[in-house]
Amino acid sequence: AQKITQTQPGMFVQEKEAVTLDCTYDTSDQSYGLFWYKQPSSGEMIFLIYQGSYDEQNATEGRYSLNFQKARKSANLVISASQLGDSAMYFCALAGGTSYGKLTFGQGTILTVHP
Amino acid sequence: DTAVSQTPKYLVTQMGNDKSIKCEQNLGHDTMYWYKQDSKKFLKIMFSYNNKELIINETVPNRFSPKSPDKAHLNLHINSLELGDSAVYFCASSQGLAGANEQYFGPGTRLTVT
């Protein structure tokens, strides 16, 4: 069974500062993928970043980076230089190698960026 | 050019009615999904199709019936709607079934059952 846990219901950050959103996971698959999605108040789901279980380097996409610690089963999202437009719900998701693409989502973290 | 589109965006209906939500993707993907987001924002997969074949069928009431007429379309029909069906339904698509493939989501359909 796959499980994703996001323990921070809400986070606050000042504009231009960095913030880390926590995500831990559990899976029996050796091969799996970890994803982060952003859901602004408008409701759409926006893909941010992906990390494969066999990737040796942490994934980065612009201001987003994924702090992947395989032994700890954590995949934290780091947003650098926060912007007001980063205020949104953020979801961590897991797709196991045997899950046929099924994404298992965490509970989400609401990020609020203060000016 | 919308990659994954859903119609309608909003759907308000009464208990007991039957309704459908349509989804189309123009990305050339071979796998499509339906997810349900409840009032607490929790997202859970309902179904997935790969090349028109049902691959995932989670524990969903059989009042929900997906149909995939071709690889680019995946529709969701719901019979005898109940209050608990009120949610946002997202369609998504990806290429292949591997865990590594990013899923592109549609804008969602907000279903309200009164």
State whether residue B8 sits within 8 Å of chain A by CB: no
Q: What is the distance in angstroms between the Cα of B105 and the nearest Cα belonging to chain A?
A: 6
Strands in B19-25's sheet, in edge-to-edge order, are B4-7, B19-25, B73-78, B64-70
Interface test with A, best of B102, B110, B111, B112 (most A CBs within 10 A): B102
pLDDT digits (tens), chain A, 115 positions: 889 999 999 999 999 999 999 999 999 988 899 999 999 999 999 999 999 999 889 999 999 999 999 999 999 999 999 999 999 999 999 998 777 778 999 999 999 999 9
Which amino acid appears at position B6 of this protein?
Q
Question: Cα–Cα distances in Å, from A23 out to A69, A74, A90, B25, B47?
Answer: 10, 6, 10, 30, 25
pLDDT tens string B52-99: 888 888 888 999 999 999 999 999 999 999 999 999 999 999 988 766
Question: Considering CB atoms only, which of A47, A89, A95 is closest to B99?
Answer: A95
With b for 16 or more beta-carbon neighbours within 10 A and e for fewer, the A41-78 pattern comes to eeeebebbbbbbbeeeeebeeeebbbbbeeeebbbbbb
The structure tokens listed for B47 are 């179904």
User: Which residue matches tokens 């209906």?
Assistant: B13
Taking the C-alpha atoms of residue A82 and residue B4, their distance in angstroms, rounded to an integer, is 28
CB contact under 8 A, A43 and B105: no
Mean pLDDT of chain A: 94
CB contact under 8 A, A47 and B98: no
CB contact under 8 A, A101 and B107: no
Nearest-Cα residue of chain B relative to residue A104: B44
With b for 16 or more beta-carbon neighbours within 10 A and e for fewer, the B2-34 pattern comes to eebebeeeebebeeeeebebbbbbeeebbbbbb
